[in-house]
């Protein structure tokens, strides 16, 4: 690639990413050609191996898996290019066309190669000794995970039938829930003016510094949602009851089994995690009471949970300032990691500019072939945006380590571990920000951001886990779950976590209606990984504080392992057992530290 002209590079904002590094030639025609050849190459793999995997020995399996990994690395840049370009600006015609081309090509490749996991699974079931074969040592855990799925696979015809029945069955219910929610509009008075807003905009009012507006926003939304309880209840019932039937057919021993397999964890670890949460609900309630004090309230109401502390405008941060703070935070942890973070900015792998047509939210996309990553966010200069950037760069740190240590097959990190780098990065930033904070108010604002997030991910999400469990228990007992019955289960689950530290508006019993996770077809128990991730990283951070620099190589080894080891094995490397409450309690200890620090600022 030719070096960019100096004046041109100067003209480009450093908040706009440079995607040209992903491909040799950025001409749309050239990218299309690369995508076409990807489909052809996948076809060749299919031709060679389809129907023949059952006869392969260890060497043959190795060749197949390496071929699939090589295919991914070779075409990864071209596949990412269109998708990333489109996410940054969906109004761009070239981006639309390339994104569509990339989506189509990827779909054809995954269809062509779907036989690999199926045939390989059967081979492993017949010859489990292959997993221990030294030739396949790098793929050991990948194969173990595959084998764990085999007993739950149905015949080819049945699997096809499941797809057909789901399309107009539970997938339709899932779609109805999300469409119904996004189509709702709500009328609310803002600054003396009546406004009719869609759900997405109403949610934005939850963080308004105006307490009365926040209260009315919640009241209006849930009043509206509660009126359609028959729809939400029918949807959740259909999705959950279908899952119960599928558990019987697929021989999943409990409604959680599917999710445990997907997340590479076992029931013991999750139940000890949830026990730790319930035992420490008092600690969370202590924070909620502290927050009430900081806000000058006798008690928090539900509409204060996500609210900012300050009533007035809060400190804003420029891009350069955020870049410096974040880079330094990572560099203080480790020089090599600091260099990588600096490189992310220097090579312009972040897109922070706010623009029309840009997708909402923020994410980090690994670029394994380039041993790097790309990050998208809309940077508005709020403290939250600085945290989001540090979070996404933590994912990038994970990608840098992973891509240097593992084959792509070992880079499919499950939900429980996927946030290990990102949440850790947020804590590194916290340390830095607290060092630099000049006033008590600044310190309070930082700690409130951190503890609000911890509370939301570890505790509020736990209430959702409890609701999921309660729903399946009720179905098992043959109870009919209409809207009111489901709302009752939600209120009970909520109380176990929040105790009497929060006053709830009556309509908040309908809060479960808006949570898409309950309605996702064929993917149940999606909530506990958030709790797991949060507490896992807090425990690691605690160890970092205790062990100092000696901990650094351990964390790097953990992130480098990717999915080549289970979370259980990874924690064992630190000398901990995730099936024991002692490990999770370490995470609580760190949260308690933050709460103590916050208390001292009063």
Which residues in this chain contact Zn ion in the complex, by CB under 5 A? 422
Q: Toward Zn ion, which CB reaches closer, 119 or 385? A: 385
Query: What minimum distance in Å lies between the beta carbon of 392 and Zn ion?
Result: 7
Tokens 């590479």: give the residue: 264
Q: Which is nearer to Zn ion, 399 or 422 (CB)?
A: 422
With respect to Zn ion, which residue has the nearer C-beta, 143 or 539? 539
Please say whether the beta carbons of 214 and 205 come within 8 A: yes
Nearest-approach distance from CB 389 to Zn ion, in angstroms: 12
* Closest to Zn ion by CB, 89 or 453: 453
In this complex, which beta carbon is closest to Zn ion, that of residue 231 or of residue 456? 456
Contacts 24+ apart (CB under 8 A), 450-454: 450/426, 450/594, 451/287, 451/291, 451/591, 451/594, 451/595, 451/598, 452/291, 452/305, 452/306, 453/387, 453/426, 454/534, 454/538, 454/591, 454/594
Taking the complex as a whole, the smallest distance from the CB of residue 420 to Zn ion amounts, in Å, to: 10
Based on CB atoms, which residue is closest to Zn ion, 84 or 188? 84
Rounded CA gap, 395 and 398, in Å? 5
| Residue appearing with tokens 């569509």 | 100
Name the minimum Å distance from CB 388 to Zn ion: 9
Question: Which residue, 102 or 422, has its beta carbon nearer to Zn ion?
Answer: 422
**CA distances for 565 relative to 175, 269, 432, angstroms:** 35, 16, 31
Collapsing DSSP to helix, strand or coil, 18 comes out as coil
- Residue 272 CB, shortest distance to Zn ion, in Å, is 24
Helices assigned H by DSSP within 256-334? 257-262, 267-279, 281-294, 319-333
**CB closer to Zn ion out of 280 and 389:** 389
Q: Compare residues 218 and 526 and give the one whose CB is closer to Zn ion.
A: 526
Query: Least distance (Å) from Zn ion to the CB of residue 158?
Result: 36
Tell me which residue has its CB nearest to Zn ion.
422
What are the CA-CA distances from residue 126 to residues 50, 54, 131, 157, 558 (Å)? Answer: 18, 9, 11, 21, 32
Nearer to Zn ion, 415 or 515 (CB): 415
How far, in Å, CA of 367 to CA of 373, rounded?
5
Is 78 or 458 the residue whose CB approaches Zn ion more closely? 458
Q: How many CB atoms lie within 10 A of CB 182?
A: 10
Q: Are 35 and 75 in contact (CB under 8 A)?
A: yes
Please give the Cα distance from 205 to 194 (Å, whole number): 14
87's CB contacts (< 8 A; 6+ apart) are: 358, 359, 376
At which residue do the structure tokens 């390989």 appear? Answer: 120
Structure tokens at 186: 């709500």
Q: CB of 143: closest distance to Zn ion in angstroms?
A: 28
Whole-angstrom Cα distance, residue 321 to residue 381? 10
As measured in angstroms, the least distance from the Cβ of 363 to Zn ion is 7
Query: What is the chain's length?
Result: 602
Given a contact cutoff of 8 angstroms between Cβ atoms, the answer to whether 248 and 532 are in contact is no
Alpha-carbon distance of 310 to 437, in angstroms, equals 16
Report, in Å, the least distance between residue 544 CB and Zn ion: 19
Of 69 and 392, which has the nearer Cβ to Zn ion? 392
185 forms beta bridges with 198
C-beta of 529: minimal distance to Zn ion in Å? 11
Least distance CB 514 / Zn ion (angstroms): 21
Q: How open is the CA angle 209-591-559, to the nearest 5 degrees?
A: 105
Q: Give least dist CB 421 to Zn ion, A.
A: 9
Residue 321: HSE in the Cβ half-sphere, 13 Å Cα cutoff: 14
């Amino acid at each position: 690639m030719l070096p960019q002209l100096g004046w041109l590079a100067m003209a480009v904002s450093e908040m706009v990413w440079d995607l040209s590094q992903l491909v040799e030639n950025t001409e749309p025609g050239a990218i299309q050609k690369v995508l076409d050849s990807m489909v052809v190459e996948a076809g060749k793999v299919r031709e060679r191996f389809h129907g023949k995997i059952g006869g392969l020995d260890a060497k043959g399996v190795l060749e197949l898996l390496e071929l699939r990994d090589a295919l991914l690395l070779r075409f990864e840049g071209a596949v990412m290019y269109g998708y990333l370009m489109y996410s940054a600006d969906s109004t761009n015609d070239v981006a639309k066309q390339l994104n569509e081309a990339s989506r189509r090509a990827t779909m054809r490749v995954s269809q062509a190669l779907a036989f690999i996991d199926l045939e390989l699974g059967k081979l492993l079931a017949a010859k489990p000794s292959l997993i221990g074969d030294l030739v396949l040592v790098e793929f050991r855990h990948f194969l173990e995970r595959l084998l764990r799925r085999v007993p739950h696979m149905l015949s080819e015809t049945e699997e096809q039938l499941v797809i057909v029945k789901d399309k107009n069955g539970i997938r339709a219910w899932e779609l109805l829930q999300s469409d119904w929610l996004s189509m709702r509009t709500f009328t609310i008075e803002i600054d003396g003016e009546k406004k009719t807003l869609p759900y997405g905009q109403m949610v934005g009012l939850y963080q308004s510094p105006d307490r009365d507006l926040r209260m009315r926003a919640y009241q209006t939304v849930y009043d509206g949602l509660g009126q359609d309880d028959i729809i939400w209840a029918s949807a959740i019932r259909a999705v959950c009851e279908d899952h119960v039937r599928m558990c019987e057919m697929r021989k999943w021993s409990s409604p959680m089994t599917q999710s445990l397999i997907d997340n590479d964890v076992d029931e013991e670890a999750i139940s000890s995690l949830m026990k730790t949460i319930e035992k420490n609900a008092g600690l969370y309630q202590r924070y909620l009471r502290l927050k009430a004090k900081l806000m000058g309230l006798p008690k928090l109401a539900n509409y204060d949970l996500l609210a900012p502390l300050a009533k007035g405008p809060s400190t804003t941060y420029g891009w350069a300032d955020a870049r410096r703070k974040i880079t330094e935070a990572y560099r203080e942890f480790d020089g090599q990691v600091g260099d990588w973070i600096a490189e992310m900015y220097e090579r312009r792998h972040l897109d922070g500019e706010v623009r029309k047509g840009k997708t909402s939210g923020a994410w980090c996309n690994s670029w394994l072939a380039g041993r790097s990553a790309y990050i998208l966010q809309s940077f508005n200069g709020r403290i939250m945006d600085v945290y989001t950037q540090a979070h996404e760069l933590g994912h990038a740190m994970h990608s840098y380590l992973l891509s240097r240590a593992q084959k792509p097959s070992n880079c499919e990190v499950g939900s429980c571990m996927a946030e290990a780098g990102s949440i850790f990065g947020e804590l590194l930033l916290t340390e830095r920000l607290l060092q630099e904070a000049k006033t008590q108010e600044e310190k309070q604002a930082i700690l409130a951001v951190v503890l609000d997030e911890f509370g939301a991910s570890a505790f509020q999400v736990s209430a959702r886990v409890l609701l999921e469990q309660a729903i399946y228990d009720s179905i098992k007992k043959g109870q009919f779950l209409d809207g009111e019955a489901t709302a009752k289960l939600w209120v009970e689950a909520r109380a176990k976590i929040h105790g009497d530290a929060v006053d709830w508006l009556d309509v908040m019993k309908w809060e479960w209606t808006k949570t898409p996770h309950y309605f996702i077809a064929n993917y149940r128990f999606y909530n506990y990984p958030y709790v797991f991730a949060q507490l896992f990283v807090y425990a690691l951070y605690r160890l970092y504080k205790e062990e100092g620099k000696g901990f650094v190589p351990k964390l790097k080894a953990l992130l480098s392992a990717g999915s080549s080891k289970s979370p259980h094995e990874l924690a064992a490397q630190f000398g901990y057992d995730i099936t024991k409450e002692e490990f999770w309690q370490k995470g609580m200890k760190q949260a308690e530290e933050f709460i103590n620090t916050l208390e001292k600022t009063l």
